Amino acid sequence: MSRHIAGILLAAGRSRRFGGNKLLYRLPDGTPIAVAAGRHLLSALPETTAVVDDAHGEVAGLLEQEDLRLVVNPSASAGIGTSIACGVAACGDAQGWVIALADMPYVPVRLIRQIVSALQRGCDIVAPVHRHKRGHPVGFSHRHANALMQLSADQGARSIIAANRDGLELIETSEKGVIVDIDSIKDVQTLQAKT
């Protein structure tokens, strides 16, 4: 039986350390950070929902142009946990979710597909790992629906992963993009210097 997996792109952050909306910052090829992350997730998961803080904002407009479904999190300022809960609730009929961060534009599509495949095979929680560091995105089976929808504030889903370590499947990857999130302009400059 094919398991229906949905993608959730968390794109409602405030970019406090960036000095502006980092999700709009253009990568060397001219693509905004959020658009690059959204395209990768959408390539692996045609049913992908982006959680935004403003339906009429520039980030929302760009992601909508890429054919991502939008859901607005009115409590986005309270933290990432509320966005995860909002996204999962918006596609609660799925058999699992791959939750990705919009400030991680270098996650390869093939890695996302590996996570999807693992969930479809019946894995419980799936995450990539690069050089012993767990990365993103993270896949969750439907068994965690209630726990994900009860998240609040800035806790994220780490507590769920920690409580279910026996069910965590790690995918070893040489792709550094699974641990590279962009929090400051310095992060972008450092990455550009290495490419």
pLDDT in tens, 171-187: 999 999 999 888 766 66
- The amino acid sitting at 177 is G
Tokens of 165: 């370590």
Q: What Cα–Cα distance (Å) separates residue 193 from each residue in 62, 181, 186, 189?
A: 27, 16, 10, 6
Q: If we measure between CA atoms, which residue out of 137, 170, 176, 118 comes closest to residue 7?
A: 137
Mean pLDDT, consecutive 10-residue stretches, the chain (195 aa), reads: 84 71 91 97 97 95 97 93 96 95 96 97 97 96 96 87 95 94 69 55
Domain boundaries, the chain: 5-194
Q: Do the bridges between strand 96-101 and strand 69-72 make them parallel or antiparallel, or are there none, so unpaired?
A: unpaired
**What Rg value do the Cα atoms of the chain yield, rounded?**
15
- Residue 13 has what pLDDT? 76
Q: Do the bridges between strand 125-130 and strand 133-134 make them parallel or antiparallel, or are there none, so unpaired?
A: antiparallel
pLDDT in tens, 139-155: 999 999 999 999 988 77
111 near 175, Cβ under 8 Å? Answer: yes
CATH class for the region spanning 5-194? alpha beta
- Residue 153 has what pLDDT? 81
Q: What share of the chain is helix, strand, coil (3-state, %, to 5)?
A: 40, 20, 40
